[in-house]
A and B are shown apart, each in its own frame.
Chain A
Amino acid sequence: MFESIEHTIARLREQQYICDRKLATVAFLALQMQKPILIEGPAGVGKTELAKVVSAALGRSLIRLQCYGGLDEAHALYEWEYGKQLLYTQILRDKIGGLFEGIDGLREAVARLDLHEDVFFSERFLVRRPILQAIDSPDPVVLLIDELDRAEEQFEAFLLEVLSDFQVTVPEIGTVKAKTIPYVIITSNNTRDLSDALKRRCLHLFIDYPDEGRELEIVRLKVPALRELLAAQVVAVIRRLRALDLRKAPSISETLDWARALVLLDADALTPELLDETLHLLVKYERDTQRVNEQLAWIAEPIQAQPQSMSSEAALTPPQRPAEPDTNFLEQRRQEHAARYFTNYRGRTDGRTGGA
């Protein structure tokens, strides 16, 4: 159990997960209020990881449901095991025959069979999918519903009953109520808006990239083999990369991968050459690579600088690109000039000229 916010922070730290107070407050409240957490944020900031460490910290098992397009309730909630039902009917044929001994008349036989109908639609023939598993488990579990935004909107509707009342309705059996309340964590990469009904039932948490101090702490904790100086340099470079407007900013997991790679390469300190050679671990799009190469000198600044001066930087803004003589501009001006005299082109219908 998490006893207080401070206790939550400490327990998560034991599991090598460094979080801020904000996150800990939500994690603590979710347990206290028995409410699901909905986590949004960019990829690779530790959304899924949180579920893993919470399950470890609470000593509960983790049940994971990875969402994808086309996921339906047969894969998430439950499914009937038709094959097994059929097999049982075949094997038990004699027994079923015995059931009707001494009965004459179809009506009576059906009535008799009716008494045993529930045998074949019992939980025995139910395949438990992750959500039903989580609800039905005798010990409380952590249920991770990963990347819910990938599933269709209709699927969200199935979750509503589970999330608010912790029960699942199986038409043939009835309502399966939770024996223990699972700790539910839902993650979303925000590729689409989740429905209000779902959001209403959850505590909402937005995780962003950590600040420099926390990230340094994470790197030191996760990659202890990395030298102190190098760790500071790694974090400073990553910060600068994120300040560049990249299509895919390096995430925490990529930072850690890079740090591990540097350990493997047995680097003492980051040099501009080393940075250049290992950059592809961090930058994954061609356009991003170009942009980074343009700004390489600026990114490499903290490598040369003394480590003390790094922490003092307030706001990171990459230097403006030197204004290159714009040949298009002249061309454009010439065309504009021409357009001013060109009055009856068909693009305009209101008789005005010039920009509007």
Chain B
Amino acid sequence: MRQFSRRRFIQSVAAMSSLAVTPARGKVSGRVVVVGAGLSGLNAALHLEHLGCEVTVLEARDRVGGRVYTLDHVAGHPEGGGNIFGGSYGRVLHTAQQLGVALRKPPRGLPSDFHVRGQIIKASEWPDASANQLPADWRELLPSRLQGRLQASNPLMATRNWLDPALNAVDQSAFDGMRALGFPEEAIRLIGVNNSYGNRMADTSLLSLYRVRAEFARLTGSQLSFTEAALGNQRLPEAMAAALKGPLRLSTPVRRVSQDQHRISLVLDNGESIEADALVMTAPLPALSKIEWAMPAERRRLMESVEYHKVLQAHLVVEAPYWEKRGQGGSWWTDGQLGRIFVRPIPGTERYNLTVWINGDECDALDAMPKADCQAEIMKQLYALVPDAKGAVSVGDVVRWSTDPYAGGVWSLWRPGQAAEAHAALRTPLGRAYFAGEHTAISYRGMEGAMESGERAALEVARMLS
């Protein structure tokens, strides 16, 4: 019924579109403040400058990039934030090309062994391992592949359908949903331990998992090849920042936002006031909720109800491939607190980058510790799993996104059924304030979602200022 009326509507629009529409001359002018020098804010700023606006970008951190964060102080400059450019990331790839940011195919990650229920298992041994407690028709699937079985029941056919109110109305937790689909308890447990789209399976949205699967299923041909910036992904936001004509102020957190009919006003942490015709606010919701702002109560409630994904990474540099003498691959997938361990060579050297990637509620205890203790605990656990790593690795840095005051996590998570309502509400302009950031994107997640949202916010501001 819905589909039918939509098609009818498109046909009628198509029929009427022969009516000539006089092209108007768009002239956009005005002062715009963009809060946040991540990809969304920088993309919005570049578009608005191009259209003729006078743009000032304010960034709370002492660097640009936001959740794109290359650890330049660690050998191999590993990515602490956004780490891979998808083949369909049109805005990211084009912007990199335009600004001369060199891209490369990422060095191939080393194969993974498994540490499940206390046993070390090679991928080839998994189907027959005693720690593999999956039923017969599931045993062949590696723990990292189990979620793929969701694709058979995926209801998402089009880009924006994850926001469909009807699908959100029947959305449920990944835990309940997978049970209803006949997933074995052990499969649900294994999917849950390294789940990137929720902090726990009990309130991970099944629709969110379908969204990710639908995105992958749609990629074909050249879109299946991924890239990264050769010298670190942060070179992309840096190049974007360098291309701006107007000022970009680092270490400039915003304390308060207010507005009347004629202007929007910001008070900075240093007490300074700035006025503009429009604001593009790109702060992630946990950071945004700390800014003093008289928002409608319902909007604030929604904003504060959105959880962000917890990720903690320890970035190590490996001097020698200690895994070889035991015939191990180097990388690990574990059902313990260490989560996943990714190892890849540093091109042009004999060394490797090793990233311990812990996510979800498993981060809590480590997030609560002082950084040095957190690092010591991770190393203790790593050496327990791989004693040979002792003496062969050095710690580069530990990155904790949940405790980062300007992030609050790596990306927004929508609880079961929450997306349709909360997403639409949180990206709706408030007077002269427009909202961007990955949490407001529709077609993409991650870095391309951030770029998409900046483009959309620029369109909204341009309409108002034209």
A, B from the same assembly? no
